[in-house]
């Protein structure tokens, strides 16, 4: 950060000048300011929310299930697990005979995950991460918080976990960071109504678009960084450094995601939330 200023309106009597104030100070100044100012949500949100590059993603899980909201029963269709062997070479479980992984479609999926289009955010109550059962018992979240969670399409489980009504995608990187994207309810509307919410958004149907709640978490998965032999000093020291870097990044991202429900654009949701058959093709004869 080079400087922080709060910018106000232009001065009517002095074209090119704006009111400005330094944060945490009361004095207001008039200063020449020629830059363009945008208050559009999309101009301020981090465009690479997950902070990940294409080459870093080496493991994907499409956890296909949905929650019957009437009975609260979970209908599971199975996990489709994709692992990167080499560039443009992926393997997967549950591949039918005569088919193989379509790496082109996998690459498109990775690109869509990296370019996840965030249309809006909503604040979450503190304590809405980790073990939800323990948080509720400790009084860190209330029953109304849980009801709001369910209203957005996310369902606490008896063991303190979380399910979402439209399944989830897990993404792991070579740094050992494991992201979970859980897809919840539809958010109707556009513009500010979606970006920050208002009295007419979230619950009312409209003709201006169907966005989607997503609950994002990040954690460190050390199984992706197996420990080398201690006797190989250089390799072990490098491993320790990578583990520490991965843990630090996962902790920082977890703190960022902890405070917010995210709303993703409908087209972004449609490109990521796909069944496993979209990533398979007939084996070349």
Residue indicated by tokens 């398979």:
280
Tell how far CA 94 is from the center of its chain: 26
> If residue 261 lies in a helix (H) or strand (E), which one and from where to where?
strand 260-264
Looking at residue 2, its pLDDT comes to 82
Contact between 103 and 88 (Cβ < 8 Å): yes
Candidates 124, 147, 155; CA nearest to 256 is: 124
* pLDDT score of 285: 52
In this structure, are strands 260-264 and 118-123 parallel, antiparallel, or unpaired? antiparallel
Whether residue 156 contacts residue 162, with contact meaning beta carbons closer than 8 Å, is answered with yes
DSSP helix, strand, coil percent of the chain (3-state; round to 5): 25, 35, 40
**Cβ distance 122 to 260 under 8 Å?**
yes
Cβ-based neighbours of 190, under 8 Å, separated by 6 or more: 208, 209
Place of tokens 């149907």: 205
* 277's tokens: 């058959």
The CB density around residue 103, as the number of other CB atoms within 10 Å, is 18
Sign of CA dihedral 160, 164, 167, 171: negative
Q: How many residues does the chain have?
A: 285
pLDDT at 162: 92
pLDDT at 48: 85
Distance CA 189, CA 196 (A): 11
- What pLDDT is attached to residue 199? 45
pTM: 0.84
Extract the residue ranges of the chain whose pLDDT is less than 70. 39, 198-209, 285
């Amino acid at each position: 950060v080079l400087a922080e200023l709060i910018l106000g309106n232009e001065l009517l009597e002095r074209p090119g000048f704006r009111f400005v104030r330094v944060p945490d100070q009361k004095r207001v100044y008039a200063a020449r300011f020629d830059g363009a100012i945008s208050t559009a949500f999309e101009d301020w949100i981090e465009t690479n929310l997950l902070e990940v590059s294409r080459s870093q993603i080496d493991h994907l899980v499409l956890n296909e299930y949905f929650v019957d909201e009437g009975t609260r029963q979970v209908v599971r269709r199975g996990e489709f697990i994709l692992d990167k062997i080499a560039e443009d070479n992926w393997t997967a479980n549950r591949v039918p005979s005569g088919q193989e992984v379509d790496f082109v479609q996998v690459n498109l999926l990775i690109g869509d995950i990296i370019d996840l289009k965030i249309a809006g955010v909503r604040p979450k109550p503190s304590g809405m991460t980790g073990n939800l059962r323990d948080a509720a018992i400790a009084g860190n979240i209330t029953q109304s918080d849980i009801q709001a969670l369910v209203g957005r399409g996310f369902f606490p489980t008896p063991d303190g976990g979380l399910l979402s009504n439209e399944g989830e995608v897990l993404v792991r990187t070579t740094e050992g960071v494991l992201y979970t994207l859980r897809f919840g309810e539809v958010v109707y509307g556009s513009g500010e109504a979606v970006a920050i919410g208002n009295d007419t958004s979230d619950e009312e149907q409209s003709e201006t678009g169907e966005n989607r709640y997503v609950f994002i978490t990040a954690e460190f998965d050390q199984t992706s960084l197996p420990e080398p032999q201690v006797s190989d000093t250089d390799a072990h020291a490098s491993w320790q450094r990578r583990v520490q870097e991965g843990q630090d990044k996962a902790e920082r991202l977890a703190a960022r995601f902890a405070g917010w429900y995210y709303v993703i654009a409908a087209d972004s949701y449609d490109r990521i939330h796909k069944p496993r058959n979209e990533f398979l093709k007939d084996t070349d004869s």
